[in-house]
Amino acid sequence: MHLRQLAGFYVLACFWTWSCWLPILAEQRGRLSLGGCTELLATLGQFGPFVAALVWTRLERGSIVNLLKRLVQVRVSPACLAVALLGPPLLFASAVYLNVWLGKQAAPEFHFPEPVGTTLHFLINLAIGGALGEEPGWRGYALPRLRERFSALVGSIILALAWACWHLPLWWIANVPSSFPVYVLGMIPLTILFTWLDEWGRGSVLVALLFHASLNTSLVRLPVFPAILIVNGLFWMVAIPIVVSRWRVWLAAPSAVSRSH
C-alpha cells in the first residue's frame, strides 16, 4: 500500500513544482509573460514536496500535527546538529582548495564569514531557499515509508533518484553547474548522508532542514561550482565508509532495523 501512496505523493510533488517552474521556461522562450511573477513561481515551486506530504498525510488519515512536530524536534544529539550545520561548508571548502591545489581554479581570497550576513542568508535558505519546501516531503513523508519497504541503502537510492528527477526543470530554466547525470551521481551519496543523519537524529526533520539549508548556503557563498566533480567525489568518500562500517544495518530488511545511530 505504501508504494501506491508514495507514487501519489511523488506525482503531486512533481505536478505542483513543475506547474510553477515550466511557465518560467515558457517565458524565457518568449511564449508567455508572467508579469513579474517569475521569482514568486520559482519560490512556490520549491514547496511541492511539502504540499504533497500534507495532502497525502491527510488522505491517509495520519496526523499532520505529528509531521509538523518533527520539523521542530530539538531533542537531538548536539554532535548530530553540529555535523548537519558545519559539514557542508567544511566539505565544500575542502573541495575548493583541493581544486586550487590541482590548478583547476584560482585561489579564493580567504576571509572569515560575516556572522550577521551569513546567518541571514542561512535563515532565508531555510525558509524559502529549498529546505522548508522540500524536507517535510523527502525526509518527513517519503523516507519513513520507504524504510518500511526497503533497506536503508535501497530506500536511499530510490529517494535519491526521485529527488534528482524532481529537480529536472532546473536544467531548462537555471544555470546549473553540472550535467544532469553528474548531478544524479552526487545525489546518491548525498541522500545516503541525509538518511544517516535522519537515523542519528531519530527521525527529526529539523536535522534535515538544517543540513539542506547549510548545503544551499555554502553552495552560494563558496566558489564551489568549478569544483563540483570533487564535491561529488567527497560525498562518496564520506558516504561509503558510513555504509561499510555498518553494512548489516544498511542492508538489513526493514523489520530488522531500529532507529538508532
| pLDDT at residue 110 in the model | 74
Q: How are the residues of the chain apportioned to helix, strand and coil, as percentages rounded to the nearest 5?
A: 75, 0, 25
Distance from C-alpha of 29 to C-alpha of 173, rounded to nearest angstrom: 10
The mean pLDDT of 184-210, rounded to a whole number, is: 97
Asked whether the predicted pLDDT for residue 166 surpasses 60, the reply is: yes
Write the burial class of residue 251 (CB in 10 Å: 0-12 exposed, 13-18 middle, 19+ buried). Answer: middle
| pLDDT at residue 256 in the model | 46
| pLDDT at residue 114 in the model | 86
| pLDDT at residue 258 in the model | 45
| pLDDT at residue 261 in the model | 37
The mean pLDDT of 153-179, rounded to a whole number, is: 96
The mean pLDDT of 68-76, rounded to a whole number, is: 95
Asked whether the predicted pLDDT for residue 6 surpasses 60, the reply is: yes
Asked whether the predicted pLDDT for residue 231 surpasses 70, the reply is: yes
Write the burial class of residue 218 (CB in 10 Å: 0-12 exposed, 13-18 middle, 19+ buried). Answer: buried
What is the biggest distance separating any 2 CA atoms in the chain, rounded to whole angstroms? 56
Asked whether the predicted pLDDT for residue 160 surpasses 70, the reply is: yes
How many helices (H) and strands (E) would you count in the chain? 14, 0
Average predicted confidence (pLDDT) for the chain: 94
Residue ranges of domains in the chain = 74-256
Asked whether the predicted pLDDT for residue 2 surpasses 90, the reply is: no
Interval 104-153: pLDDT, tens: 999 988 777 788 999 999 999 999 999 999 999 999 999 999 999 999 99
Asked whether the predicted pLDDT for residue 259 surpasses 70, the reply is: no
> What is the reported pTM?
0.94
| pLDDT at residue 1 in the model | 54
| Cα angle: 194, vertex 195, 201; to 5 degrees | 90
The mean pLDDT of 3-16, rounded to a whole number, is: 96
Cell matching residue 161: 533518484
Work out the number of other CB atoms within 10 angstroms of the CB of residue 80.
21
The mean pLDDT of 205-209, rounded to a whole number, is: 98
Interacting residues of 26 by C-beta distance below 8 A, sequence separation 6+: 32
Interacting residues of 11 by C-beta distance below 8 A, sequence separation 6+: none
The mean pLDDT of 233-254, rounded to a whole number, is: 95
Sole residue written with cell 553540529: 82
Asked whether the predicted pLDDT for residue 260 surpasses 50, the reply is: no
| pLDDT at residue 175 in the model | 87
Asked whether the predicted pLDDT for residue 248 surpasses 90, the reply is: yes
Cell matching residue 191: 541522500
Q: Containing H/E element for 218?
A: helix 205-221
